[in-house]
Amino acid sequence: MSALNQELRFTTRGRQAMRLLRTMVCALVIVGGAFFVATQSFSAAAGAETEDIGIDAEAVVVGEGESLWAVAVDLGIDRDTRDVVADIVDINHLSSPVVHPGQTLDVPKR
């Protein structure tokens, strides 16, 4: 038999070991990828919380039946209410101006 015709032959036990090794490598890649994605998401969220937008803020809890507009009016800031609402949305990284009772918001200081 020449060197070119030789091929690697596994026993049943060898094939099982290779399947196990392949499965373990795939599982390691999947778990590693999930861990990477989770740490990147956590890092992005942590970075967003510490972002300084140049506005001094204080915490306010949204009351029952209160809207973001009502929260902005209750602050009594001598500015256009639309601008105050926009500041609250920016400070809290809200995707919409919808708020819920009991939600804590950072608002511009009075």
**pLDDT at site 27:** 95
Closest Cα partner for 63 from 91, 106, 95, 104? 104
* Cβ neighbours of residue 35 closer than 8 Å, sequence gap 6 or more: none
pTM of the entire structure? 0.49
Total domains, the chain: 2
Residue at 91 is within a domain: yes
Q: Has residue 25 got a pLDDT over 90?
A: yes
What pLDDT, in 10s, does the model give residues 38-85? 777 665 554 444 445 556 678 889 989 999 999 999 888 888 999 989
Domain that holds residue 91: 57-108
Pair 104, 71 in one domain: yes
Pair 31, 63 in one domain: no
Pair 41, 80 in one domain: no
